Structure 1
Amino acid sequence: MSAREDQDRAVATLRRVAFLLERAQASRYRAEAYRAAARTVERQEAARLGALARAGALTDLPAVGSSTAEVVSRAMAGRAVPALIELEEQAAADDARTTPAAAALHAALRGDLHSHTEASDGATPVQEMVLAELELGRDYLAVTDHSPRLTVANGLSAPRLRAQLAQLAALRPAVAPFEVLSGIEVDILDDGTLDQDPDLLDELDVVVASVHSKLRMDGAAMTRRMLTAVRDPRTDVLGHCTGRRVAGRHRPPSEFDARAVFDACAEHGVAVEINCRPDRLDPPHELLQLAADAGCEFTIDSDAHAPGQLDWLRAGCERAVAHGIGPDRVVTTRSAAAVRARSRR
């Protein structure tokens, strides 16, 4: 093996450990430590990196601590990395619990329409999110960072979103035939309007509309708010519809007339998101059944804020099959071209 190949193996191993930590819901700081080390190692001259490894001096590098140095040293020497082995075994055990029907639906998924990058409140640059989705064997990823009113999540103003669109255009040739879809998770404002320049929304491949504020609004007002957003021709997907949190800082679901909202989704061609974040799992089962009965279509989305979280879709598949929702009703089993063609704009 050449020094460059040893270096590449070390970088890939660090990124794989970070991916599996994110997948397993480990501390964000642990995963970020491995990603920071990967970036440092990747920037080094291969010969210098080899010399530092032989001297046991990898921790002289910025962002490389004792744990990440051990991973680099073992990976460069072609030796087993215990931390990686343990995480791979855990991931395999988790996957083995997937039911056959959910596994079949998971295998049919071709993309993800809800993901975040460091441009808003994600952990990594868009390139790392795209690379992870590509390595998962999927065909496309929609980049849907937050809109401006969600300041706590560093939502994108119109100029910042336009800059991101230019970034995505430059990235696409490098990853083709994988497709990077332009998108946004746009806030549904109090009156049901969408929190972004309408002309700019018209340029996007995917618009996911979600409620993030005043979640305890009166049920009738919340229903009017959501119906206004669903009827907006720029809305493609209704994101995490109840806003609930079932882990960490618990939050009850918002109150609204779910049947009226899902009937409107079915009428206007707005897909209902099955959000796979372990702390959301939204909609709840009873509302998911209502949406199925209303004739809605669905997306199964990760709402990923880090690359490893893109591999959370099995949970959504389990929830879908429990309510008789098959691949024909899941938008994300279709091609990127079909997703674009389905756009309501």
Structure 2
Amino acid sequence: MSGLTPSAALREYAFWLERQLADTYRVRAFREAAAVADALTETPKNEAEWKALKGFGPKTAAIAAAAAEGRLHESLAKRRAEGAVSLDPAGDDLRALLRGDLHSHTIWSDGGSPLAEMADVAEALGHEYLAITDHSPRLKVARGLSRERLVAQWEEIDQVQQGRGMRILKGIEVDILAEGALDQADDLLDRLDIVTASVHSDLNADAATMTRRMVGAVSNPHTTVLGHPTGRKLRPDGSWRAQSSFDAELVFAACAMFGVAVEINSRPERKDPPLDLLLVAKEAGCLFSIDSDAHAPGQLDFLTYGAARAVEAGIDPERIITTWPLGRLLEHAKRRR
């Protein structure tokens, strides 16, 4: 017996696909089918009836029908077996010490799933807290949140929080603007639990310009985390998008001075910052934050990748703020406000 409802089976299949960075449209079919299954008042009697439902195809119908019969479909069983293997065993011990994640995205900006679904999976993974950090207004390509939409998101967070043991933190991934200012009003930033500041534009600017921008953001009293510092990204052909040039010693010295954590971005196509810069940040005395930068629920499990990179760099877990209890984390985030 599988013990799964049809919707739970479909969502689990989507989770394993997301964990493997499968195409968003392919994943969406399973999550949308799960939503249809949740809304049914009568369970279809066989696979053909499942397939006749709007939003269902051969694979989704087969998985749902098997779950309705108390069976685990072979394709889901295969995904589950593959998922039982750690993403990176070198990170397993440190991953067990991580209490939460300070960088995640939902359908409010460029994520693929609703806020509640992200929270459900984070809680199932054992998170004590999850920061929702959708993008800020200037990043229109990622549907950055205006002032009004950010406040509206807080209302949804309050609703989704009800009845949960895990804390959903109100956050933002705020763009670092040309002169180092943050792309959101100070009064809103002051009300957030977590502010992750990242550069998303003009990544090829000269080193002096990038250094000035990053130090400006790090010195802002609202900034909690410096997100994916180099902006590098793995292309489909296996080559890397060039990382930004900046004075790493100066930027990381500023992070250490102001208590801003350097993000160890766990996405496998980012691995940002690379090892050489991680070691510079470590030598500078920086704090760190191991974050998933998840854009889908299954990607929340990417933390193991980041943990493995922290282990490789020899970073003391005590210097990783995502190993801290919630109270200590929040006190630190508001230390200069």
* TM-score of the aligned structures, taking structure 1 as reference length: 0.94
Among 21, 26, 29, the residue aligned to 2:25 = 29
**2:114 is aligned with 1:133:** no
Count, aligned residues: 333
1:163-185 superposed Cα distances (whole Å, 9 cap, x missing partner): 0111111221221x210000000
Q: What is the alpha-carbon distance in structure 1 between the residues aligned to residue 299 and residue 5 of structure 2?
A: 22
Which residue is equivalent to 2:253? 263
Q: CA deviation at 1:230?
A: 0.5
Higher fraction of helix? 1
Q: What is the alpha-carbon distance in structure 2 between the residues aligned to residue 200 and residue 235 of structure 1?
A: 13
Which residue is equivalent to 2:322? 332
Among 251, 263, 270, the residue aligned to 1:273 = 263
Q: Give the alignment's Cα RMSD to 1 decimal.
A: 1.5
Which residue is equivalent to 2:55? 63
Q: Could you list the runs of 5+ residues in structure 1 that have no partner in the other structure?
A: none
Q: What is the alpha-carbon distance in structure 2 between the residues aligned to residue 212 and residue 80 of structure 1?
A: 43
One-letter amino acid of the counterpart of residue 185, structure 2? D
Contact 2:47–2:65, Cα closer than 8 Å, also in 1: no
Among 247, 272, 290, the residue aligned to 2:280 = 290
- Identity within the alignment, %: 48
Q: What is the alpha-carbon distance in structure 2 between the residues aligned to residue 256 and residue 295 of structure 1?
A: 18
Q: Could you list the runs of 5+ residues in structure 2 that have no partner in the other structure?
A: none
* TM-score of the aligned structures, taking structure 2 as reference length: 0.96
Q: What is the alpha-carbon distance in structure 2 between the residues aligned to residue 186 and residue 322 of structure 1?
A: 29
Which residue is equivalent to 2:151? 162
Contact 1:37–1:64, Cα closer than 8 Å, also in 2: yes
Q: CA deviation at 1:252?
A: 0.6
Which residue is equivalent to 1:299? 289
Which residue is equivalent to 1:111? 100
Contact 1:192–1:227, Cα closer than 8 Å, also in 2: yes
Which residue is equivalent to 1:171? 160
Q: What is the alpha-carbon distance in structure 2 between the residues aligned to residue 294 and residue 146 of structure 1?
A: 29
Q: What is the alpha-carbon distance in structure 1 between the residues aligned to residue 62 and residue 156 of structure 2?
A: 35
- Are residues 315 and 9 of structure 1, via their aligned partners in 2, closer, same or farther at CA, if it must alter by over 3 Å? same
Contact 1:22–1:309, Cα closer than 8 Å, also in 2: yes
Q: What is the alpha-carbon distance in structure 1 between the residues aligned to residue 140 and residue 112 of structure 2?
A: 16
Secondary structure at the aligned position of 1:183 is classed as strand
Structure 1 runs of 4+ off > 3 angstroms? Answer: none
Once the two structures are overlaid, the 10-residue window that deviates more, 195-204 or 163-172, is 163-172
One-letter amino acid of the counterpart of residue 168, structure 2? V
Secondary structure at the aligned position of 1:108 is classed as coil
Contact 1:274–1:283, Cα closer than 8 Å, also in 2: yes
Q: What is the alpha-carbon distance in structure 2 between the residues aligned to residue 238 and residue 22 of structure 1?
A: 25
Secondary structure at the aligned position of 2:290 is classed as strand
Q: What is the alpha-carbon distance in structure 2 between the residues aligned to residue 128 and residue 55 of structure 1?
A: 26
Q: What is the alpha-carbon distance in structure 2 between the residues aligned to residue 209 and residue 262 of structure 1?
A: 14
Contact 1:212–1:243, Cα closer than 8 Å, also in 2: yes
Q: What is the alpha-carbon distance in structure 2 between the residues aligned to residue 53 and residue 122 of structure 1?
A: 34
